[in-house]
Amino acid sequence: MIKADELLEHARGKALIGDTGYDSNRYLAAVRKKGMKPVIHSKPERPVPHRLVRKLYRKRYLVEVFFHNLKRFRAIATRYDKTARNYLALVQLACARLWLEEN
């Protein structure tokens, strides 16, 4: 959860959408403290599952599909480029291509 805390520092918006990996009492409290509504599916072992806004949780699917499409580019999936600058440029080009294919 170290990286999750780091991501939460930069998060903005009315809600934070995540999968069951982010379902911990400490993390949910941190999200609420930041003034955001946690939209995180409960882990199966939780005795009393918390409520989930399904309409918002469905938006997570769009992000999952985007990353799936992005990883179709072999150089991105295998982290082919050696430098972070070149890798970021390749990711930006792939995103632009996906956006153009969509529109």
In tens, the pLDDT along 83-101 reads 999 999 999 999 999 999 9
Q: How many domains does the chain have?
A: 2
Tell me, yes or no, whether 16 and 38 share the same domain.
yes
Under the banding of pLDDT at 50, 70 and 90, the label for residue 3 is: confident
Apex 44 CA angle, 41 and 45, nearest 5: 125
pLDDT tens-place string over residues 10-21: 899 999 998 898
Tell me, yes or no, whether 23 and 43 share the same domain.
yes
Q: What is the pLDDT of residue 87?
A: 93
Q: What is the pLDDT of residue 1?
A: 66
Provide the pairing of β-strand 15-18 with 37-40.
parallel
Residue with tokens 């955001």: 36
Secondary structure class of 61 (helix, strand, coil): helix
Tell me, yes or no, whether 9 and 47 share the same domain.
yes
Tell me, yes or no, whether 49 and 69 share the same domain.
no
Q: What is the pLDDT of residue 88?
A: 94
Tell me, yes or no, whether 46 and 70 share the same domain.
no
Q: What is the mean pLDDT of residues 48-56?
A: 89
Tell me, yes or no, whether 40 and 6 share the same domain.
yes
Secondary structure class of 89 (helix, strand, coil): helix
Q: What is the pLDDT of residue 63?
A: 87
- Assessment of whether the complete model's pTM goes beyond 0.85: no
Segments forming the whole domain that contains residue 38: 2-53
* Structure-derived torsion over alpha carbons of residues 73, 84, 96, 65, reported in degrees to the nearest 10: 50
Tell me, yes or no, whether 48 and 7 share the same domain.
yes
Which residue type, as a one-letter code, is found at position 21? G
Tell me, yes or no, whether 25 and 42 share the same domain.
yes
